A = this chain, B = another copy of it.
Amino acid sequence: MLDPFFKPKGVAIIGASRNPHKLGYGVVRNLKEYHYQGEIYPVNRSATEILGESCYSRVGEVPDPVDLAVLIVPATVVPETLRDCGERSIKHAIVVSGGFSETGEEGEKLEKELQAVADELDIHVIGPNCIGTIDTHTPVNTTFVTGMPESGEIGFCSQSGAMVASVIDWARGAGVGFSRIVSLGNQAGVNETQMIEALREDRQTKVITAYIEGVSNGEKFLESAKKAALEKPFVALKGGRGESGAKAVASHTGALAGSAEAYESAFERSGVQQADTMEEMFDWARALAWQPLPKGKRVAVLTNAGGPAILAVDALESAGMELADLTEETRDYLQSRLPKAASIKNPVDVLAGSGPGTYAVALDAILTDETVDSVVVIQAPQDWFLPASLAEVVGEVASTHDKPVIASIMGKASVEEALNILHKRKVPNVSFPERVASVLAAMVKRKEWLEMPNGTPDPFEDINTESAQALANQQQWQQLLTEYGIALPPQKQLSSKNEAITFADSIGYPVVLKLVSDSISHKTEVNGVKLNLHNGREVEEAWNEIARSAKEAGATMDAGMVQKMLTGGQEVIVGIKRDQQFGAQVLFGTGGTDVELLKDVASALAPLNRQQAEQLIDATRAGTKLRGWRNQPPADREAVIDYLMRLSQLAKDLPQVDELEINPLYVLPKGQGAYAVDVRGFLAESMPEELSV
């Protein structure tokens, strides 16, 4: 559907120019200079020829074949020019021109006109206010930006034209090759989700990368992104993650923001890996495109110097990777082959005097070792062998194994040839060894995501949906939880001592007895709370004492509240929260009054299957604690998993519930359940009012 943007048979450049300082010149120049093999039709009223190509005064005069138009004309004439294209049967157009919704009200009106024409004549539009498209394999470059990136396997799609321009410039010589690059501009037509589809379908694109400020439609994005990520790695850089950044995005694109957390959950769920910087995004992309995924986290480091290896090890550890142990066999073998003073433990240090031959022998042994999942090869600068020869060796040996190898042939001035060889051999290189850590961690993460069961959970069948709807609408949150099988601490208000004892017997001891009295507010001040009652007799005594204390304080005991006393458990928070873009998220974390202080809350998109619920729990310190911590016995993690899945279903069943928070959920030791001690909720209807404040 979007093919003509990347493999056009003929391109009409409307607004082509003879003036080398104009964008309309740049587009014609790029098409020619970067070896586009199809037809090039400059459209210009006054010129007869531009860069050797005959001009046409109107797009209607352009001959066949033509299936793509690039518009570089003033914004005000874009709608009618687009109409001309449609009437000439050109169904794909890149609108480079700016002056639309990014400039204010008038521009917005023009953009609507543009959209109307596109809809009417069924034209696919990229832009306006964009830079265009590049396909290095066709090859075609419809942009005006100087430079053509090396051909490669990375597809890059960006909501910022500036990012595209800087990536093109930066990529030259950086060892990063691209298959397709596209700048989406204002997305009046083609949006990021459709473009991700196109990159997924492109055979030459092995890895999808994207700079994303917002998505057009959360649900559709999730679907397309997941489909894409299942087929090929998908790495994204999200602009506007912080509060100030999000504000800047809002004023930059005007897109529905969605919270940073929701984006994180959405990326996580759909297998999109979120990089922190541009450099990291392309570091990851290159490794994911070139090298096999590691089976696990165990890394071996092979080096000719201690210092750089130590920095790599520090970074690997802090990225959650592990150092491989190496088998005794490998160590004995290395001992027999390496210089006497070499370190045969991981990091394996062949010492400064060893050359490519020694590296080859050691690398082969390490890659063969079953305790090793991936290898980092470091070469500190030396003057006695060509780094290029090490590059050959690493490339060759790595290609005979199915484990990822990342190189760090250090330096800059002296290693250019080596890097060219490594890149030809598809071994990524980083100039400082610390950078390997995030690369390998990203590869492990992709492997884990691919292995994670991602089916939709079966619905719980013990829920009466009709009654649930009613309870939600009446904001009867406690009863709603009960309907969804989430237990409240057993408690009951009772008017006599005997009833209290009977009830306490039925819920099990210990229990708490509390004074219920209209005439007293602070129960503790009159000794109106008795904790830790172990049997009926103690309940009876407590009732008597409370009644006496109340009387002494000049009040009456109207009733007694008997509650199951919860002890020896852990307080967590669970809940749901709805995001504008991506719908309901399920939350889990450390509960109590310090939730916001401790910031130990993770979230995941609903629905949650069992594995996803476990992953959510395990992403927090609260989750670590649930498994048993110091003197605290393992808690009823199963109950929490069950509740998280039930809440995820609640979120799906009851779209009117905007937020529901159980804090604390009191989790008793294993097998003893968990109880929602406190719950608060908000209906969606009430939100717009709050937002309008």
Q: A residues engaging B (CB < 8 A)?
A: 21, 23, 26, 98, 102-104, 107, 144-147, 158-163, 165-166, 168-170, 172-174, 211, 213, 237, 239-245, 248-249, 251-253, 276-279, 304-311, 313-318, 323, 340-341, 343, 345, 347, 352, 380-384, 410-415, 431-432, 434-435, 524-525, 527, 531-532, 534, 538, 593-594, 596-600, 621, 624-625, 629-632
Kindly list chain B residues whose C-beta atoms are within 8 Å of the C-beta of A244.
313-314, 316-317, 323
- Would A248 and B347 count as touching, CB distance under 8 A? yes
In the assembly, what is the distance between CA of A211 and CA of B310, in Å? Answer: 11
Q: Are B381 and A242 within 8 A (Cβ)?
A: no
Q: Provided the pairs A169-B413, A413-B147, A598-B598 are in contact, do residues A162 and B278 lie with their beta carbons within 8 angstroms?
A: no
8 Å CB contact of A310 from B168, B252, B318 = B252
Contact B632 A380 (CB under 8 A): no
**A73 to nearest B CB, angstroms?**
16
Q: Are A166 and B381 in contact (CB under 8 A)?
A: yes
**Is there contact, CB below 8 Å, between A162 and B305?**
yes
B239 touching A311, Cβ below 8 Å: yes
- Residue of A102, A172, A311 contacting most chain B CB atoms (<10 Å): A311
Among B165, B307, B410, B412, contact of A173 (Cβ-Cβ < 8 Å)? B412
Cβ–Cβ contact B213 & A310, under 8 A: yes
CB–CB A311/B237 < 8 A: yes
- In the complex, which of the residues A162, A243, A534, A629 has the most CB atoms of chain B within 10 Å of its own CB atom? A162
User: Does A432 contact B307, Cβ atoms closer than 8 Å?
Assistant: no
* Nearest CB in chain B to that of A312: its residue: B245
Closest to A347 in B: B248
Q: Whose C-beta in chain B lies nearest to the C-beta of A307?
A: B160
Tell me how far the C-beta of A568 lies from the nearest C-beta in chain B, rounded to whole angstroms.
Answer: 12
Contact of A309 among B248, B313, B532 (CB under 8 A): B248
Q: Chain B residues with Cβ under 8 A from A313's Cβ?
A: 242, 244-245, 248
Q: Once the chains bind, are A165 and B340 in contact (CB under 8 Å)?
A: no
Q: Tell me whether A242 and B318 are in contact (CB under 8 A).
A: yes
Bound-state CA distance A145–B630 (Å) is: 54
Bound CA–CA A383/B26 (angstroms): 9
Given contacts A527-B538, A625-B594, contact A308 B245 (CB under 8 A): no
- Tell me, in angstroms, the Cα distance from A415 to B147 when the chains sit together: 13
**Residues of B close to A21: CB separation below 8 A:** 384
In the complex, the answer to whether A103 meets B341 with C-beta atoms within 8 Å is: yes
User: Are B241's CB and A314's CB within 8 A?
Assistant: yes
A248-B310, A593-B629 are known contacts; what are 11 more A-B pairs with Cβ within 8 Å? A23-B383, A145-B381, A173-B413, A239-B310, A241-B318, A242-B313, A242-B318, A252-B307, A277-B311, A525-B534, A599-B621
Among A243, A343, A594, residue most surrounded by chain B Cβ atoms (within 10 Å): A594
Contact A169 B410 (CB under 8 A): yes
Please give the distance in Å from A594's CB to the nearest CB on chain B: 7
**Bound-state Cα–Cα, A173 to B307, Å:** 23
Q: Are B432 and A278 in contact (CB under 8 A)?
A: yes
Cβ contacts A to B, 8 pairs, < 8 Å: A23-B383, A98-B352, A162-B380, A165-B381, A240-B314, A244-B323, A531-B531, A597-B621
Residues of chain B within 8 A (CB-CB) of A241 are 314, 318
Contact: B307 with A213, CB < 8 Å?
yes
A304–B23 CA distance with the chains assembled, in angstroms: 17
Which among B160, B524, B531 is the interface contact of A306 at CB below 8 angstroms?
B160
Residues of chain B with a CB closer than 8 A to A531's CB = 531
Known: A102-B341, A411-B169, A414-B147. A249 touches B380 (CB 8 A): no
Question: Which residues does chain B contribute within 8 Å of A343, judged by CB atoms?
Answer: 251
Does A170 lie within 8 Å of B411, measured CB to CB? yes
Chain B residues near A621 (CB-CB < 8 A):
594, 597-599
Contact across chains for B169 and A381 when beta carbons are under 8 A apart:
yes
Find out whether the CB atom of B317 lies under 8 angstroms from the CB atom of A383. Answer: no
Least distance between A387 CB and chain B CB atoms (Å): 10
Q: Are B310 and A383 in contact, with the CB atoms below 8 A?
A: no
- Complex contact B308–A163 (CB within 8 A): yes
Pick the contact of A412: B169, B277, B314, B527 (CB < 8 A).
Answer: B169
Q: Are B345 and A146 in contact (CB under 8 A)?
A: no
User: Which residues on B sit within 8 Å (CB–CB) of A23?
Assistant: 383
Residues of B contacting A278 in the complex (Cβ-Cβ under 8 angstroms): 311, 432, 434
- A146 near B538 with CB under 8 A, answer no
Contact between chains at A306 and B162 (CB < 8 Å)? yes
Chain B proximity of A261: nearest CB distance (Å): 14
- Contact indicator A305/B624 (Cβ below 8 Å): no
- The answer to whether A277 and B162 have CB atoms under 8 Å apart is no
A174 touches B412 (CB 8 A): yes
Q: Please give, as numbers and ranges, the residues of chain B lying within 8 Å of A146 by CB-CB distance.
A: 383, 414
A340 with B159: CB separation less than 8 A: no
With A278-B311, A625-B594, A630-B593: A162-B341 Cβ-Cβ less than 8 Å: no
Q: Which residues of B contact A162 (CB under 8 A)?
A: 304-308, 352, 380-381, 410
Report whether A211 and B163 are in contact in the complex, using a CB–CB cutoff of 8 Å.
no
Chain B residues positioned under 8 Å from A341 (CB to CB): 102-104, 107
Closest chain-B Cβ to A637's Cβ sits at a distance in Å of 15
* Docked pose: A431 CA to B631 CA in angstroms: 51
Determine the distance from Cα of A165 to Cα of B378 in the docked complex, in whole angstroms. Answer: 13
The 8 Å CB contact of A314, one of B174, B245, B279, B600, is B245
Residues of B within 8 A of A629 (CB): 593-594, 597
Which B residue sits closest to A525, measured CB to CB? B534
Given that A168-B381, A242-B317, A412-B173 are known contacts, is A211 also in contact with B307, CB under 8 Å in the complex? Answer: yes
The minimal Cβ–Cβ distance linking A30 to chain B, given in whole angstroms, is: 11
Contact of A380 among B165, B240, B309 (CB under 8 A): B165
A608 to B222: give the CA distance in the assembly, Å. Answer: 53
Is the pair A308, B102 in contact by a Cβ cutoff of 8 Å?
no
Bound Cα distance from A311 to B278, whole angstroms:
9
Contact A161-B594, Cβ < 8 Å, known A340-B103, A383-B146: no
Q: What's the minimum C-beta distance from A79 to chain B, rounded to whole angstroms?
A: 19
